[in-house]
């Protein structure tokens, strides 16, 4: 199959047996289908089209689906596409994605591709780059090639990669000028998930990656010129922090927090990136991932435990949580550790949520209206 190939999806609608909500399966379980990582822009501003990945030709490529008709068009071809790491620009004009060691900008009207950054020899990109809210800048983490533990497509190499203490660096890219510079290097620390503050692309949020009880601290901030690196929240080995993201207005970033001393209860917290003042907002179920809508009036999260197999919806003002529907996923790996992770995400207008689950076979994409 090649770019431009048309795929027809037949939607399947059912009533969630726990909440009565109407859930629509957008893809069929014969192939692996999933949407991009939850904090990327994957739905067009008119709420009409979804960017997603599929292995229907034996390897992962990206597609654009019409959410009204189910008709999808193949956007990429060949091998090496990083299927979770792609984002539409704010105006939907371009799709930024990773292929092998290149970062590419695709014109969504013509399909033309323009590589604007390539990781140099001796380094491997950690394929979760962060795009600025004005679409001009991008930040990514690179690992020294000799320190990379080859993935087996499951979680078996996660702790060995941390234990290998890889040489990592944060790279900042000016897309317009096609120029880049190294912000920060760590010779013995695994870095990950760099994200640029909305409205302030000079501020970078990133993490020390690894097993939650083995890292020194997860949350870190640094300026794009390499100055003012600071640990946002020191933590002990009894504490777990995951999975951070910026609010759309850039005022704060959010994360979930657990501590063994309080019975592993989990709470949603917000932090001011300037003062590092922390706001413990409310207790919640045990989310693996969560994200706010555009105006931070709602949060959606995916329950991680066997008895918490739900997509949860939070009313931020009222500080209440409700079950939206069961995701029912197994969390299994299908060649990528994230394939069956729900990764719930809001549509731009907040009228529906999409998530991934393997409840009916291979991972599929689902939509639930709010």
Tens of pLDDT, residue by residue over 24-72, are 999 999 999 999 999 999 999 999 999 999 999 889 999 999 999 999 9
User: 175 pLDDT band (50/70/90 cuts)?
Assistant: very high
59, with CB counted inside 10 A (0-12, 13-18, 19+), is: middle
Q: Which of 85, 133, 83, 97 is nearest to 246 (CA)?
A: 133
Location of structure tokens 């951070």: 244
Three-state DSSP class for 69? Answer: coil
Q: Which of 229, 228, 233, 260 is nearest to 244 (CA)?
A: 233
Tens of pLDDT, residue by residue over 180-215, are 999 999 999 999 999 999 999 999 999 999 998 899
pLDDT confidence of residue 237: 87
User: 133 pLDDT band (50/70/90 cuts)?
Assistant: very high
User: 262 pLDDT band (50/70/90 cuts)?
Assistant: low
Three-state DSSP class for 160? Answer: helix
pLDDT confidence of residue 263: 62
Phi then psi for residue 158, to 5 deg, are -65, -55
The C-alpha atoms of residue 223 and residue 228 are separated, in whole angstroms, by 6
pTM (2 d.p.): 0.96
Q: Are 97 and 76 in contact (CB under 8 A)?
A: yes
DSSP state of 197: E
User: What are the start-end ranges of the H helices in the chain?
Assistant: 158-163
Tens of pLDDT, residue by residue over 312-355, are 999 999 999 999 999 999 999 999 999 999 999 999 999 999 99
Location of structure tokens 């609608």: 13
For residue 258, the surrounding DSSP H or E stretch is strand 253-259
Task: Calculate ∠ Cα 17-18-24, nearest 5°.
Answer: 55
For residue 162, the surrounding DSSP H or E stretch is helix 158-163
């Amino acid at each position: 199959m090649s770019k431009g190939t048309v795929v027809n999806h037949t939607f399947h609608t059912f009533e969630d047996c726990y909440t009565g909500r109407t859930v629509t399966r957008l893809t069929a379980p014969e192939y692996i289908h999933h949407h991009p990582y939850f904090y990327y822009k994957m739905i067009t501003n008119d709420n009409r089209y979804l960017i997603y990945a599929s292995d229907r030709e034996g390897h992962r490529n990206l597609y654009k689906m019409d959410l009204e008709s189910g008709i999808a068009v193949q956007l990429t071809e060949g091998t090496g596409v990083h299927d979770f790491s792609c984002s539409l620009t704010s105006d939907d004009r371009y799709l930024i994605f990773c292929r092998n060691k290149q970062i590419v900008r695709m014109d969504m009207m013509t399909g033309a591709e323009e590589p604007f950054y390539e990781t140099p020899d001796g380094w491997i990109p950690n394929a979760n780059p962060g795009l600025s809210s004005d679409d001009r800048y991008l930040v990514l983490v690179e690992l020294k090639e000799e320190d990379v533990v080859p993935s087996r497509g499951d979680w078996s190499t996660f702790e060995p990669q941390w234990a290998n203490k890889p040489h990592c660096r944060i790279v900042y890219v000016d897309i317009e000028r096609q120029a880049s510079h190294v912000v920060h290097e760590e010779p013995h620390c695994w870095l990950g998930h760099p994200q640029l503050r909305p409205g302030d692309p000079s501020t970078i949020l990133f993490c020390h990656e690894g097993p939650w009880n083995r890292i020194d601290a997860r949350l870190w901030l640094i300026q794009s010129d390499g100055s003012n690196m600071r640990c946002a929240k020191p933590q002990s080995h009894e504490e777990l922090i995951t999975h951070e993201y910026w609010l759309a207005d850039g005022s704060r970033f959010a994360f979930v927090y657990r501590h063994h001393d309080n019975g592993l209860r989990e709470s949603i917290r917000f932090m001011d990136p300037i003062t590092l003042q922390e706001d413990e907002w409310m207790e919640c179920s045990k989310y693996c991932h969560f994200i706010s809508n555009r105006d931070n009036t709602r949060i959606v999260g995916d329950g991680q435990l066997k008895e918490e197999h739900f997509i949860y919806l939070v009313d931020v003002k009222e500080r209440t949580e409700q079950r939206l529907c069961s995701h029912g996923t197994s969390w299994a790996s299908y060649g990528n550790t994230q394939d069956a992770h729900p990764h719930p995400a809001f549509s731009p207008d907040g009228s529906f949520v999409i998530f991934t689950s393997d409840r009916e076979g291979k991972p599929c994409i689902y939509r639930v209206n709010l």
